[in-house]
Amino acid sequence: MASALFDSLCALFDTEDVGGAVEHDPALIAELSARLESSDESAAFEDRMATLALCDAVEAGSAQTPVDLMDLEIRRWTEGASSSVVPFGARARSGPLTESFLPLAAASESGNKAVLCRSQSGIWTLEVFVSPDDANKGYLLLSVHPDHRATYEGRTGRVFVKLGEDERVLAEEVVRKGEIYTAVSLAGLDLHARDAINVTFA
Binders of another protein in range 175-194 (CB under 8 A): none
CA dist 145 to 32, 117, 123, 156, Å? 54, 13, 5, 17
| Residue in 94, 95, 96, 120 binding another protein, rule: CB under 8 A | 120
Among residues 27 and 169, whose Cβ is nearest to another protein?
A: 27
Q: Give me the least distance between CB of 165 and another protein, in Å please.
A: 26
2-13 and 26-36 helices, crossing angle to 10°: 80
22 binds another protein (CB under 8 A): yes
146 binds another protein (CB under 8 A): no
Q: Give me the least distance between CB of 37 and another protein, in Å please.
A: 7
The answer for residues whose C-beta is within 8 angstroms of residue 95's C-beta and 6 or more apart is none
Among residues 50 and 169, whose Cβ is nearest to another protein?
A: 50
Among residues 102 and 163, whose Cβ is nearest to another protein?
A: 102
Q: Which of 59, 124, 113 is nearest to 88 (CA)?
A: 124
Q: Give me the least distance between CB of 35 and another protein, in Å please.
A: 4
Three-state secondary structure readout of 103-135: CCCCECCCHHHEEEEECCCCCEEEEEEEECCEE
11 binds another protein (CB under 8 A): yes
The answer for residues whose C-beta is within 8 angstroms of residue 11's C-beta and 6 or more apart is 18, 22, 24
33 binds another protein (CB under 8 A): yes
